[in-house]
Amino acid sequence: MIHGGLGYADIWANQVADLSKDHTVIVADSRGHGRSTRNTEPYGYDLMSSDYLALLDYLKVQKVDLVGWSDGGIIGLDIAIHHPERLDRLFAQAANTKVEGVKSDVMENKTFAAYIDRSGEVYKKISPTPNEYDAFVKQISDMWASQPNWPDSDLQSIKVPTAIVLGDHDEAVDRTHTEYIAKTVPGAKLIILRDVSHFAMLQDPAGYTKAVRDFFGAK
């Protein structure tokens, strides 16, 4: 389970409590996020994907079902495109595949702004570099300004069974863009989660986990 930008693994707490009853669940704080260390190297989704593949190698796990939220969903799609042998299934929620898939007014949204502020408070408590949140946000924002930018051919190359997922009132990702991804990835299933936004796993934990279980249980 891979969290979104500025977040941390604890966001998945409700899902881990449920899914770990009958699955091995792997969570981590992404590069520079949460409890993980950071440096000044520019961020890229290919770099972050390589981090998670290295983690799987370290754990001696060859293939996984991957749940990715926001940046985590983009990382999941990157792995599906470039390292499909590492995935059985992909549940990508609130991911975009082009910069223009993000709503232009997202930073003016009060809910999203509250998430950024809350993430900053947590960062100061758990990060090895607690006073560097602003620098960290700038690194991430620089990546968001130009990535991802995949051509249709990359999405059309995905063979991993994939769910493209969005809350019905997501603050950040445009629904038309989500529908485009689902139509472009061969055989992808479009799932619209009801009465939730970008932060669906927190707003409706049981419903979110059920959606994950329903998809991963499908053959």
The pLDDT score that the predictor gives to residue 187 is 97
The pLDDT score that the predictor gives to residue 45 is 98
The pLDDT score that the predictor gives to residue 41 is 93
Rounded Cα gap, residues 28 and 117, in angstroms? 21
Rounded Cα gap, residues 110 and 83, in angstroms? 37
- The bridge status of strand 162-167 relative to strand 189-193 is parallel
C-beta of residue 112 within 8 angstroms of C-beta of residue 198: yes
Confidence tier at 69 by pLDDT (50, 70, 90): very high
C-beta of residue 34 within 8 angstroms of C-beta of residue 7: yes
**Does position 121 have pLDDT exceeding 90, yes or no?**
yes
Q: Is the dihedral of CA 116, 119, 125, 126 positive or negative?
A: negative
C-beta of residue 35 within 8 angstroms of C-beta of residue 123: no
**Does position 218 have pLDDT exceeding 60, yes or no?**
no
C-beta of residue 142 within 8 angstroms of C-beta of residue 69: no
The amino acid that residue 151 corresponds to is P
**Does position 215 have pLDDT exceeding 50, yes or no?**
yes
The pLDDT score that the predictor gives to residue 115 is 94
**Does position 183 have pLDDT exceeding 70, yes or no?**
yes
The pLDDT score that the predictor gives to residue 143 is 96
* Closest-CA residue to 45 (of 112, 142, 168, 123): 142
**Does position 146 have pLDDT exceeding 80, yes or no?**
yes
Q: Which residues sit opposite 68 in a β-bridge?
A: 2, 92
Mean pLDDT of the 130-140 span? 95
Rounded Cα gap, residues 90 and 118, in angstroms? 28
Taking phi first (over 0 means left), then psi (-120 to 50 degrees means alpha), and beta for anything else, what does residue 196 get?
A: beta
The pLDDT score that the predictor gives to residue 219 is 44
Percent of the chain beyond pLDDT 90?
98
Mean pLDDT of the 168-178 span? 97
Backbone angles phi and psi of 92, in degrees to 5: -110, 110
Taking phi first (over 0 means left), then psi (-120 to 50 degrees means alpha), and beta for anything else, what does residue 60 get?
A: left
Q: Which domains does the chain have, with CATH numbers?
A: 9-97+123-217 (3.40.50.1820)
